[in-house]
Amino acid sequence: MGFIRPFALLGTLAGLALGQDCPILGPTYPEVLNPSSSTVFAAAKASFDDEITKALASGQLDNGTAFSIQVFSRNSDKLLFERHHGSSVGPDTLYRIGSISKVMTVYTTLAELGDKYWTEPVTKYVPELARLKVRDPVYDTDWSEVTLGALASYLSGIARDYALGDIAPYLPPGIPGIPALNATEQIQCGTSGLRACTRAESLTKIAHTYPISPTHHTPAYSNMAFQLLAYAVEQITHKKFPTLVNTRLLTPLNLTHTFLTKPSNPSNALVLDGWDLDFGEESPAGGYYSTPADLTVLARSILRSTLLPPALTRSWLQPLSHTANMALSLGRPWEIPRLTLTPGAAPVDVYTKQGAVGAYLALLALSPAQGVGYTMLTAGGKSPATYAWLQEKVDAIFLGAAEAAAREEAGRRFAGNYTVEAGAEGTAAAVEVPILRKTFMRSDGKGKCKL
Ligand SMILES: *[C@@H]1O[C@H](CO)[C@@H](O)[C@H](O)[C@H]1NC(C)=O
Ligand SMILES: *[C@@H]1O[C@H](CO)[C@@H](O)[C@H](O)[C@H]1NC(C)=O
Ligand SMILES: *[C@@H]1O[C@H](CO)[C@@H](O)[C@H](O)[C@H]1NC(C)=O
Ligand SMILES: *[C@@H]1O[C@H](CO)[C@@H](O)[C@H](O)[C@H]1NC(C)=O
């Protein structure tokens, strides 16, 4: 029998005022501390494994597209689930991770500098931008308004790319309505099939990009933002950015299979379209290579605050803007789907970053409120379909299981008969929402009131 003080009424006033339940955003239940012994997770694992096997057999999942998926908990070194598909694909297979590199860039920055530079303008640290004049705000970015924090969070208003994805090198000449470009107008570097741009070339091109919107007006994706962020960090620290990634992330986490540039002749590589694309100076936006095992260690270290103080992790795992999709917010550089796992409960916000390059499509996902996450790497002709299928299932099955397992554990720990000091007594049972509900109350041992 436990004891509670009769203060619960205060907590319901906000809900009454709004005429609706208003659960607190965040964990609905305390986290599952020993996931390996949970029967709910064991059932989820068996069911997901079975669904994958069936989908591969039926052709719903393309047999020719390789994938790796690992599901983990903050509270265990043992994976909750893993599955690999493809010839000799396993936890140490090397994939391209594309824009998940952006998470590594921000993580490195936070580990080296903390978050105290986020409000500083980029012009303070990238002199080439400080020299640019704003003649017309429609055509010229006001770089003095672009902060390092805005660069990291899609809120800078700057263009997406200065060369990456430029189709001019591939356009056949003579397309009606499209004037031919002369030699000086053609880009020479910075996209697929061309060499990487130097810093000087990049900044000359960046100076010629147009703003997408004013700063902090609306989120818009930008790759070049992360190249500029890395330049600023180099100027602040007087260290090369790849050196910082090594000393701040790769060495302390022992990520021996993660590479910032294309590794030479790795035996474990899954080499497909996009493998060779050299991001050069733009690597902090999308150039890195990693394995399922390394990516899981990196992701779990975020949930565990291994490299950052817990307060910094908490402020990092927060949204900074909404999008026009009610169920998607954004952070640095998080893409945050908001999932409804339990009707009536607060949404579960999943801090994710997607990465796409060539035939590779990857995802890193953290559910801080549940203490679980997953990493997913796909490669092959049908990677978008494989990725979409796996993501939908893993969210429904494993994040759903995390919720169910936590509810079950909370029931075991907290449901029971409680007596308040005034002498009233009551019973609490674990139900879906909120975590505990009083099922009856009795005052001074007299008169039982069923609730
Ligand atoms: C599926 O792919 C594997 C290699 O990953 C191959 O051994 C197998 O024959 C393929 N099955 C079908 C039905 O194509
Ligand atoms: C190429 O085009 C640009 C802009 O249209 C023009 O300024 C330049 O003179 C042209 N160069 C040559 C070599 O024709
Ligand atoms: C680092 O990882 C490698 C293999 O990936 C392993 O052989 C080595 O023991 C690890 N070192 C530490 C200190 O954990
Ligand atoms: C709570 O008390 C009731 C009787 O008052 C009893 O039937 C029930 O088993 C108790 N529940 C627990 C969890 O102790």
Same domain, 205 and 233: yes
The Å distance, Cα 80 to ligand 1 centre, comes to 26
* pLDDT (0 to 100) of residue 85: 98
**pTM, whole model, 2 decimals?**
0.90
Ligand 2 site, residue 184, Cβ cutoff 6 A: yes
Q: How far apart are the C-alpha atoms of 93 and 278, rounded to whole Å?
A: 20
Of 47, 56, 72, nearest to 389 by C-alpha is: 56
For ligand 2, atom 3, the nearest C-alpha belongs to: 185
CA angle 399, 30, 115 (to 5 degrees): 80
Q: Are residues 423 and 346 in the same domain?
A: no
pLDDT surpassing 50 at residue 365: yes
Smallest CA-to-CA distance from 27 within 409, 286, 448 is with 409
Residues 150 and 241 in one domain: yes
Q: Are 224 and 160 in contact (CB under 8 A)?
A: yes
Chain segment 271-310, per-residue pLDDT in tens? 999 999 999 999 999 999 999 999 999 999 999 999 999 9
Which of 286, 257, 282, 285 lies closest to 274 in space, CA to CA? 286
Is the pLDDT at 38 greater than 70? The verdict is yes
Nearest residue (CA) to ligand 3, atom 11: 254
Whose C-alpha lies nearest to ligand 4, atom 14? 416
Domain total of the chain = 2
Q: Are residues 164 and 271 in the same domain?
A: yes
Q: What is the CATH number of the domain that holds 60?
A: 3.40.710.10
Same domain, residue pair 128 and 7: no
Q: What is the pLDDT of residues 49-83, one digit of tens each?
A: 999 999 999 999 999 999 999 999 999 999 999 99
Q: Which residues have C-beta atoms less than 6 Å from ligand 3?
A: 254, 256
**What pLDDT was estimated at residue 432?**
45
Is the domain of 131 the same as that of 233? yes
3-state secondary structure of 350: coil
**Per-residue pLDDT, 10:** 34
Q: What is the pLDDT of residue 343?
A: 81
Query: Based on the domain organization, do 73 and 145 belong to the same domain?
Result: yes
Q: Is 210 a catalytic residue?
A: no
- Asked if 10 and 67 sit in the same domain, the reply is no
Task: Output the six-digit token pair for 301.
Answer: 């270290």
Stretch 35-58: mean pLDDT, rounded?
95
Residue 249: which domain range? 35-409
Q: Is 144 a catalytic residue?
A: no
Query: Does 92 have pLDDT greater than 80?
Result: yes
Q: What does the pLDDT average to over 138-164?
A: 97
Question: Quick one: how far is CA 418 from the chain centroid?
Answer: 41
Q: How many CB atoms lie within 10 A of CB 71?
A: 27
Q: How far apart are CA 3 and CA 428, in angstroms?
A: 12
Q: How far is the CA of 183 from the centre of ligand 2 (A)?
A: 8
Residues 4, 183: Cα–Cα separation, whole Å: 78
Q: For residues 215 and 322, state if they share a domain.
A: yes
CA 171 – CA 185 distance, rounded (Å): 13
Shared-domain flag, residues 439 and 316: no
Q: Which ligand is nearest to the CA of 255?
A: 3
Pocket probe mutation, ligand 1, options 63, 84, 89, max atoms within 8 Å of Cβ:
63
Angstrom distance (rounded) from CA 188 to CA 165? 13
pLDDT above 90: residue 434: no
pLDDT of residue 412: 85
Q: How deeply is 248 buried, as exposed, middle or buried, from its count of CB atoms within 10 A (0-12, 13-18, 19+)?
A: buried
